[in-house]
Structure 1
Amino acid sequence: MHRLSIRLASLLVFLLFAQFSVAADKQATLDVINAYMSAWNKHDPEAAAQYFAEDGEFLDASVGVPQVGRETAKDKVIKLFIDAVPDLKWQMVGEPVVEGDNIAFEWQFDGRNTGAWGPDTPATNKPLSFKGVSFIRLKDGKIASQHDYYDALGFNKQLGW
């Protein structure tokens, strides 16, 4: 009976430690994503890009072609959006789903398009507000991949395109 008690106590300690480890992993993932989103909301593409792995991938599903590499993600996605919508606000909606280094969450993006999207796409000076979902995978505390899905048709209509 004594051996059974020791085994049971050992099992309980193990389960408590495992539970603590899972909670710590979840919090670490949330901390990275919250800091990343905060850099976007501070309108700082350099700071936001630092959360990407050197070979990280950013896929905007409406574009269909992944942007690979920290500098490419910074220049072709992060900086592009921040320059086009300099007052942007990007916030998480509801509770994210976190499993280890993976997170999925719904988000809301708001702002006014006062900057050009590119040489052939000038600012519209129109407000925009749309929701989407991100699926992000971290590796060693950095974003290894971010895949974003949102209503591109609604986004384009708001801008008058």
Structure 2
Amino acid sequence: MRPRELVMAWAKAFNRADPDGLAAFYAEDAVNHQVAEAPVEGREAIRRMFAEGFRAAEMVCIVENIFEDGEWAILEWRDPLGLRGCGFFRVVDGKIVFQRGYWDKLSFLRMHGMPIPRN
């Protein structure tokens, strides 16, 4: 599966709130780094991250654009509440080996009525 096609399928699994389906897109030793959080390493840890996220908030990924360049796909997204972000996915042999996402964590927490951490 080409990177663009994989990310389109990833967005569908995300919108089903399907952590197992999402995890299946990742290589065993993949890294998912949402820059507002510490990197998550390994398929099972990534599955747990999604499961915890879906339990905490109703999340929706409305695809605005997907660009492909070689092994990379770039996703521009928004959600129904107005949050916007982008993700970079490196795909090797049909699996995500690295993902980095950029979004505003403070806005996300406020939109979902979640506590704001004090550091």
Which of the five TM-score ranges fits, normalised by the shorter chain? 0.7 to 0.9
- Structure 1 residues not aligned, in runs of 5+: 1-26, 111-127
Match of residue 75 from structure 2 = 105
Percent identity for Structure 1 against Structure 2: 27
Match of residue 28 from structure 2 = 54
Equivalent of residue 137 in structure 1, options 62, 86, 90? 90
- Contact 1:40–1:82 at 8 Å: present in 2 too? no
Aligned residue pairs, count: 114
- Structure 2 residues not aligned, in runs of 5+: none
| Cα RMSD, aligned residues only | 1.7
TM normalised by structure 1 equals 0.65
Q: RCO greater where, 1 or 2, for CA within 8 Å and sep 6 or more?
A: 2
- Give a deviation string over 1:82-118, Cα, whole Å, max 9, x none: 22224x321211x3221011011211134xxxxxxxx
Whole-Å Cα distance in 2 between the matches of residues 96 and 143 of structure 1? 15
Q: Is the helix fraction higher in 1 or 2? A: 1
Whole-Å Cα distance in 1 between the matches of residues 73 and 90 of structure 2? 7
Asked if 1:72 is matched to 2:50, the reply is no
- Give a deviation string over 1:108-153, Cα, whole Å, max 9, x none: 134xxxxxxxxxxxxxxxxx54111101101111000110111122
- Structure 2 residue matching 1:89: 3-state secondary structure: coil
